[in-house]
Amino acid sequence: MKSILSAVCFIALGSISVLAQRKAAPAPAMTDQQFVDFAAQTDMVEANLGQLAQTVASSQAVKDYGQMLVTDHTNDFNQLNDVAHQGGLNAPNAIDAEHNKKMIDPFQKLKGTAFDRRYVREMIAGHAHALAVYKKEAADAENPALKTYAEQAVPVLEKHLAGAKGLAKSKPSAKAK
């Protein structure tokens, strides 16, 4: 029995270090155009899911969070478009098929607490990833205006990540609704 318990603990500890390394992996290098594409898709998906959250979430806190994302990501999308066009870059104006399939479609079938749980989980993962990408762009962008845009977006993304983590911690009260 001790051998089995020791083996399980060893595997668990090994898994934690692998997950920590994966989580700490740096954001991939992107050209400024690739960053614009990423940022625009992120803004459009977040605003779309935020609108959906307002209609199908069970928790008022999740609905409020969704409204914040609609407002912030719509404003961010408009700023990104201005900066991209000034820099001679093209910003997409619609969610592409890949993001629709991976990010939007799975939420179309969910309502209530099932939506709330998945939405919060995805917002934590998505904003953590976006934050890493934006920080890298803020450090490495070739276009100075795009670099400034990324720097200014980081605190907003940090606020979104903190908000999603707060929702995850208050999950029991969200279920009570």
pLDDT digits (tens, 9 = 90+) for 60-83: 999 999 999 999 999 999 999 999
Tokens of 73: 């990501």
- Torsion angle defined by CA atoms of residues 37, 91, 69 and 167, in that order, rounded to the nearest 10 degrees: 0
Structure tokens at 103: 């990010």
Domain boundaries of the chain, sorted by first residue: 30-176
Residue 170: the pLDDT is: 86
26 backbone dihedrals φ, ψ, rounded to 5°: -70, 155
Calculate what percentage of the chain has a pLDDT beyond 70: 80
Classify residue 83 by burial, with Cβ atoms within 10 Å: 0-12, 13-18, 19+.
buried
Q: Which CATH number fits domain 30-176: 2.40.37.10, 1.10.150.120, 1.20.1260.10, 3.30.420.40?
A: 1.20.1260.10
Which pLDDT belongs to residue 57? 96
Q: Which residues of the chain have pLDDT under 70?
A: 1-28, 171-177
Kindly report the average pLDDT of the chain as a whole number.
Answer: 85
Residue 170 sits at φ, ψ, to 5 deg, of -95, 20
pLDDT for 96: 94
Helix (H) or strand (E) holding 75: helix 60-86
